[in-house]
Amino acid sequence: MRSAIGIEEPDLLLVVDVQKDFCPGGRLEIKEGDAVVPVINRLARLFRHAVLTQDWHPAGHLSFASAQPGKRPFESIALPYGEQTLWPDHCVQGSDGAEFHAGLSVLCSELILRKGFRRDVDSYSAFKENDRKTSTGLRGYLKERGFRRLFAVGLALDVCVRFSAEDAAEAGFETYVVVDACRAVDPRAGLEAAKRSFAKAGVTMVESAALAS
């Protein structure tokens, strides 16, 4: 086991998409999605700074299978910017399912970054949209604030946490994914693919028990 990581200035906790629609009973429910909440609440007390992301789609968003004639959720389509997985309608702007899980308590949160709000581009990553060109502005914000290490948690490990962490590493942040503070849409293949990809991207996987104040 690696030695403990002491959380200090200027470390950042990045809390990805802990929203009702990704939790049991939601429109794109992830198995045990709500189990991340107590782990994240505990972690949040070690940090001085956090950013929350919120998936925030207009009705009829192109990532919704319902917006693509003849397509069903979890199929994929070719778009001008590449392959796009189709999902059930989820995290529609202003809907109850787009709200954060009611038990989430991250008092050190200083920014809520909404993403996926352009009808014709999805955004898994908190940094770069799925066209891989459009910036969300988060890189500039975090650099300007002087953060150096990022600890990513939330939903889903194999989708938005993965793309956010890899883009963070590419942007030059020392990046960790706290695995027990995440759950995957596909806990088998998706999780395995994420692990391989993290190794290549220079993202380190840690357990929450390894983090200390």
Q: Which parts of this chain interact with Zn ion (CB under 5 A)?
A: 55, 116
Find the shortest distance in angstroms from Cβ 160 to ligand VGL: 3
Q: Which of residues 60-89 bind ligand VGL (CB under 6 A)?
A: 87
165 close to 55: Cβ distance less than 8 angstroms: no
Nearer to ligand VGL, 43 or 65 (CB): 65
Pick the stretch among 40-48, 69-77, 136-144, 154-162 that binds ligand VGL (CB under 6 A).
154-162
What is the spatial distance between Cα 124 and Cα 102, in angstroms, rounded to a whole number? 22
65 close to 42: Cβ distance less than 8 angstroms: no
Those residues whose C-beta lies under 8 Å from the C-beta of residue 32, and which sit 6 or more positions away, are 24, 183
| Among positions 39, 43, 155, 165, the unique one binding ligand VGL when judged by CB under 6 A | 155
Nearer to ligand VGL, 48 or 88 (CB): 88
21 close to 87: Cβ distance less than 8 angstroms: no
- Which of Zn ion, ligand VGL, none lies near 46, with the C-beta cut-off 5 to 8 A by kind? none
Q: Which two tokens stand for residue 18?
A: 């802990």
213 close to 7: Cβ distance less than 8 angstroms: yes
Residue nearest to Zn ion (CB): 55
Is there a catalytic annotation at residue 89?
no
| Among positions 44, 121, 159, 181, the unique one binding ligand VGL when judged by CB under 6 A | 159
Determine, following the binding rule CB under 6 A, whether residue 17 of this chain makes contact with ligand VGL. Answer: yes
Which residue has tokens 């990532």? 63
Is there a catalytic annotation at residue 20?
no
Determine, following the binding rule CB under 6 A, whether residue 160 of this chain makes contact with ligand VGL. Answer: yes
Determine, following the binding rule CB under 6 A, whether residue 179 of this chain makes contact with ligand VGL. Answer: no
Rounded to 5 degrees, what angle do the CA atoms 66, 70, 84 make?
65
Is there a catalytic annotation at residue 160?
yes
115 close to 54: Cβ distance less than 8 angstroms: yes
Amino acid letter, 157: L
User: Which residue among 11, 91, 115, 167 is the active-site one?
Assistant: 115
* Local structure of residue 145 (DSSP, 8 states): H
Binding site for ligand VGL (CB under 6 A): 17, 22, 55, 87, 155-156, 159-160
